[in-house]
Every structure is written in structure tokens, then in C-alpha cells.
Amino acid sequence: MQIMFVLPSEMEGLSLALLDSMGAGVCVLTSNIPENVELVEGVLLSRDLASGLSCCVWDRL
């Protein structure tokens, strides 16, 4: 069972993995690149991923 999908991309097109996870009802945590901002509402990671990733993951668990 997957409880969270994390996509920390700095550059990517429309992610099918992200769409699949959202369709399955999994909590997603992704970077704030324009392609992801169009799909995800709520918490998005800044491009300074190293410092924000672990904090955001723990907040969502």
C-alpha cells in the first residue's frame, strides 16, 4: 500500500506518475515547478528541495 508519492523534480513535463498517484487517492508531495502547480493544490516544495523535503514529508505522515 502506498501512502505518499513524492516527486521532487526541478524540471519535468506533465508527470504521468503524478497523475496516476492522484487518481489513486494517494497523498502527493511535489515540487513547485509550473507543470505541477497546474495539477496540485496545497503544499508544494520550493526549488530548494534539500532543506524542505524531509520537513514536508514528516508533516504529511
| Structural domains in the chain (count) | 1
Domain extent for 42 = 23-61
**32 within domain boundaries:** yes
Q: How far apart are CA 14 and CA 54, in angstroms?
A: 24
- Confidence band, pLDDT 50/70/90 cuts, at residue 29: confident
45: pLDDT strictly greater than 60: yes
pTM score over 0.85: no
- Confidence band, pLDDT 50/70/90 cuts, at residue 61: low
Write down the pLDDT at residue 9: 83
**29 within domain boundaries:** yes
- More confident: 1 or 24: 24
Across 31-51, average pLDDT: 78
**33 within domain boundaries:** yes
Cβ neighbour number for residue 44 with a 10 Å cutoff: 16
**31 within domain boundaries:** yes
